[in-house]
Amino acid sequence: MARSRTLGAVSPRIVRPLFRTVAIAEALSWTGLLIGMYVKWIAETSEVGVQIFGPIHGGLFMLYVLVTLIAWRTFRWSIPTLLWGLFASIPPLATIVFDVWAERTGRLTAPTPPTMSAA
């Protein structure tokens, strides 16, 4: 039995919903962390929110970066699209903005294979 030469290839049917889910979860965890930071530093009442959402956001941030790299490879994004996707993990809620943009511009659809032209 021959082994596939596409090392690490993942189905776009799996990557698309995974990317969208992780992008939303990362944004929500960012929101939770920001609320926790407000309660800790501005309201000065409790640091429980930071203790809870800090590790959750850290894990989801790293997962978002990994899934973005997988999406880049799966959907054959350009380097600028990849960089925008990675940059979106930094400002709060920007992963949702990038996700909506990527969906609307067709960047979360499977690339079409090149066609053979008649010579």
The string of DSSP codes covering 44-81 is: -S--HHHHHHHHHHHHHHHHHHHHHHHHHHHHT--HHH
Number of independent structural domains in the chain: 1
Q: Does residue 110 fall inside a structural domain? A: no
Q: Does residue 6 fall inside a structural domain? A: no
Q: Does residue 9 fall inside a structural domain? A: no
Please give the chain's pLDDT, 119 residues, in tens.
Answer: 444 455 467 899 999 999 999 999 999 999 999 999 999 999 999 999 999 999 999 999 999 999 999 999 999 999 999 999 999 999 999 999 999 999 999 999 988 776 766 55
Q: Which domain holds residue 28?
A: 14-104
Q: Does residue 112 fall inside a structural domain? A: no
Distance CA(67)–CA(45), nearest Å, equals: 36
